[in-house]
Amino acid sequence: MRALGPREAQARAAAGVRTVSSRRFPAPWSVRELEQAFRIEDANGQAVAYTYFRRDENEARQANVLTWDEARRIAANIAKMPSLLSHPPRHIVEPMPKDDPWALIECHYVADHSANSSVR
């Protein structure tokens, strides 16, 4: 599928033609439990995703599908996506200082000799 130019996109929008890029899924997203799935919905009730599961753990393992708890955790994390994406990205790892190339390779060895007196 080719990308639309700005004029073509404006013409389609004026004509009421929806494109993938013009569609929005407003926050907050919520999770609704169905009989064998969790449905993740946007603020308008539009389904965004489903995570399917089996209630019986043995049956889930045999069928190679998610258990109820696994599907619930995945659905909850999907529902958090709008709030996670609305914040600016932050660095989890600090940039390495230019003057100390070994700063990130720092190791700590802690020996507790009080627990085992035979270790010297």
pLDDT tens profile 40-72: 999 999 999 999 999 999 999 999 999 999 999
* pTM > 0.85: no
| Tokens representing residue 33 in the block | 């439990």
pLDDT tens profile 68-86: 999 999 999 999 999 887 7
| Phi, psi (deg, nearest 5) at residue 60 | -65, -45
Q: Is 40 within 8 Å of 79 (Cβ atoms)?
A: yes
Under the banding of pLDDT at 50, 70 and 90, the label for residue 120 is very low
Structural domain spans, the chain: 25-90
